[in-house]
A and B are shown apart, each in its own frame.
Chain A
């Protein structure tokens, strides 16, 4: 089935290229955002490699349950992952960090040596691990196809792993090196890795179910279970503790884990779901390990334990099932290879290769940086392939993986120190890592080398690692782990305590340890005092980021910070810090620092100054947030202000208009008086009859003037709030009847009928009797004025209504148009905005009445009157005692 395997493998690889292409275009869309936490969790599951897929079964056969420890370690790590991942995310964004080497280099004073050390040691530690994946692909292919590829005989063009390796290179450079900024999430990559994780999980479940279904029909299965159950679990504590610790560390620090968990993370919000999804994923993936481990020796004694999954699935489900298992293993291996080589390539090129070219200033380096990264990735893949080809033949899958775990764990002390211990010192970290790696090398690598070269791993006699481990009665792996981490940590802590950090390192330590508090925004913290010519900074950025991107980021920065580059020829320290961060994304923190130093005369700030600036910017930021959240409120407030202003303007207009109207009303009787006075003066011989008439008229006009003036003053008192009401015992019915009686004369004169109807006795209330009388005079007087000129009728009714007394005054005139029913209570309604005069009156009666009633806390309004004519109603609350009522000062009524 060689051909079929080649075809389906090719199809699968084609599929992931298609998926990557799709995700690259679509994943940033809004619709996908809500899936990001799941994608993030699946991407972290890149932890489960071909080793999980095949090797776990091998290990379960070898040593029972301890294969699970490799997943329990990460599960424990996830308990503390959230605060760490959150801090790492802030640091990644804020410090332009694209790898573990960047992180440690940036933290320990932007140190180039630290970067190189981490890059080189990661490469050494991980390279065999990548080889392992290539080996898994190759061997799974061999196992299924039955073709023996004789690898020991040298290089072979027929090795399918070679082609997979080359295709992985293509994939990695296509979807992993798109941007010069190493810390920028790459949608195609994340999506594809997540999809591969999903695929390997589903494949394993299907294959597992089919297998289990097959096994349960076999008696040997139950016998194997019994045998397994009766077997004592006897793992030395040192051994299982070792595996827990190194797997927990590796889960956080392995280049591929750091890449997916930190560098490719798009938001802090993605993290929480991963905390339980990833352990769940690992649990499900390991569910079927044991059945295969138990049945392997029974059903497929000739196959290597690592490939029981393939041989048993072929037996239980035929070629299709076996192919699915093969593809699952392929997806696990490819995703590991892609992410690991990308992460290592980034580290290696940034810290080892790029520093060689950064001084070639006057040419664009953006493409060359990406090019170097691609060469690094290519080199790493080739090395991994060669390693697999010549060295990694004999080892089982798991053991090489564990060696890598121990290597990566050497970064743990420096890593945790970087994040949580301000005193952690650069030299101490370098010393600790170096010592740890040396011990690792001595225990786990040297025997292999001696074996390869001299054919004897025990050349060192009593000092050989395996004898040392034996004498302590622990495994070689545990011995290596314990010694390396112990010396590493001790060196690290003691030399940290005995070293004084540089200013730069001290500042970085503060930022790293307090990152959660200090770095929540997007601004790079400012570390220097100093300025540089802006064009210098800009050309530096163009050099490394390219023209377009430089323009874009500077535009954005200018917009966010209200800077106009044209008018700011000097870049201040904030801009410089920002530029350094941008450079760091492309060339790493150490090179970025050197590049910036080349254009800036800078003076480093003391730690307390940096802290001050950071706290300050935090406050400003907080303020900004509050401000922006209040923009709406502010806008609303300003709208309200505008409305109030309009209202005020309106009031002023009304005041003007009021004055205008008052003077107008005064002019009319004045005119009459003056004209008549002049007539009398100019004509001494005027007949007595005319003389009397004119004098009488003048008296009348004077009365009218007096009335008008007192009304105006009245109204002014109400509106200024100086009017007081004195509530005394009031018999409303008596008042109504009395008022009507007084006005009967006027009604008679106009030939109107005026009547009161009160059907039920009205309760006594307390009110200002004089004022209520004034209201009644006004309202009934108006009604008589507007009643039908031809024998009109005016009717006054009153009754108790709830806790009110209600009075209606109704005429049978033309009525009041609905649109005017509010307006009639305005001052001078009858003259305002119109030139048509209504029957005479001061025009203030209704306005005054309204004030009086409202001060009593009653209401006055025009009621719908079905019989036509106007019907004006008011209510008075039923008060129980005498009191004084004062009006709060109000603006003049509209």
Chain B
């Protein structure tokens, strides 16, 4: 069975390129443009891993992360964020993230980390 990945970002260009990337690598990919959409899709498709932006127009990434981690089974969560301060990273892990990747990242690294996680 193919691994399911949910990609959450309000930047459409990032969202679409990541979708293209992971589809090409054979994942089943879902995309969400905001926090609420992400929660709905997560409930609907039970992804194995969620790539999650932090700053979004409605519900922020931390809250979505809390929501995801409260599920059973909980998906792996990788924050993809431009928030670069130490505090931001730490806060991400405190919310139960499995990984915090700083934007911009290299596609190869991202793919590697995702493979390692699932």
Contact = CB atoms under 8 A, between A and B. Distances in A.
Interface string B38-75: 00000000000000001111111110000000000000
Nearest to B110: A675
Interface in A581-614: none
A701 B103 contact: no
Interface residues of A, number: 30
B34 to A, nearest CB: 9
Interface stretch (A139-147, A189-197, A662-670): A662-670
Contact of A675 (B18, B55, B85, B102): B18
8 contacts: A660-B85, A694-B17, A831-B55, A835-B54, A835-B55, A835-B62, A836-B55, A836-B60
Interface in A76-130: none
Contacts of B60: 835-836
Contacts of B80: 671
> Lowest 8 A-B CB distances belong to which pairs?
A667-B82, A835-B60, A672-B13, A671-B104, A671-B103, A678-B107, A837-B55, A675-B17
B7 to A, nearest CB: 11
B93 to A, nearest CB: 16
Interface string B11-22: 101101110110
Contacts of B13: 669, 672, 676, 697, 700-701
Contact of A679 (B20, B61, B82): B20
B113 interface: no
Interface in A646-673: 660, 663-665, 667-673
A371 to B, nearest CB: 81
A851 B64 CA distance: 38
Give the dominant DSSP class at A's interface: helix
A893 interface: no
Contacts of B11: 668, 671-672
A246 B72 CA distance: 116
A660 B59 CA distance: 22
B10 interface: yes
Contacts of B108: 678
Given A700-B13, A836-B60, A837-B10, A675 B21 contact: yes
B103 A667 contact: yes
Contacts of B24: 683
Contact of B105 (A671, A838, A839): A671
A669 B17 CA distance: 12
Contacts of B85: 660
B51 to A, nearest CB: 11
Contacts, number: 82
Determine which residue in B80, B82, B102 has the highest number of CB atoms from chain A within 10 A of its CB, and name it. B82
A467 interface: no
A836 B17 contact: no
A828 to B, nearest CB: 12
Given A663-B82, A668-B14, A839-B57, 9 more contacts: A660-B85, A663-B84, A667-B84, A672-B14, A675-B107, A700-B13, A831-B55, A835-B60, A836-B58
B115 interface: no
A838 B104 contact: no
Interface in A674-719: 674-676, 678-679, 682-683, 690, 693-694, 697, 700-701
Interface string A814-849: 000000000000000001000111110000000000
B56 A837 contact: yes
B103 A670 contact: yes
A676 B17 contact: yes
Nearest to A694: B17
A209 to B, nearest CB: 94
B53 to A, nearest CB: 9
A671 B82 contact: yes
B112 interface: no
Contacts of A701: 13
A382 B102 CA distance: 108
A679 B103 CA distance: 16
A664 B84 contact: yes
A827 B11 CA distance: 21
A836 to B, nearest CB: 6
A586 to B, nearest CB: 72
Nearest to B107: A678
Contact of B103 (A668, A678, A831, A835): A668
Nearest to B10: A837
A674 B83 CA distance: 17
Contacts of A682: 107
Interface in A511-566: none
Nearest to A672: B13
A679 B21 contact: yes
Contacts of A678: 106-108
A686 to B, nearest CB: 9
Contacts of B105: 671, 674-675
A49 to B, nearest CB: 90
Contacts of A664: 82-84
A631 B106 CA distance: 63
Contact of B84 (A660, A679, A839): A660
Nearest to A693: B16
Nearest to B58: A836
Contacts of B62: 835
B107 A838 contact: no
Contacts of A836: 55-60
A697 B82 CA distance: 19
Nearest to A701: B13
A485 B108 CA distance: 121
B17 A679 contact: yes
A668 B83 CA distance: 10
Nearest to B82: A667
Nearest to A678: B107
Contacts of A665: 82
A835 B84 CA distance: 13
Contacts of B55: 831, 835-837
A679 B56 CA distance: 25
Contacts of A668: 11, 14, 82, 103
A185 B19 CA distance: 98
A682 B108 CA distance: 10
Given A660-B85, A664-B83, A667-B82, A674 B106 contact: yes
Interface in B1-34: 10-11, 13-14, 16-18, 20-21, 24
Contacts of B16: 693, 697
Contacts of B21: 675, 679
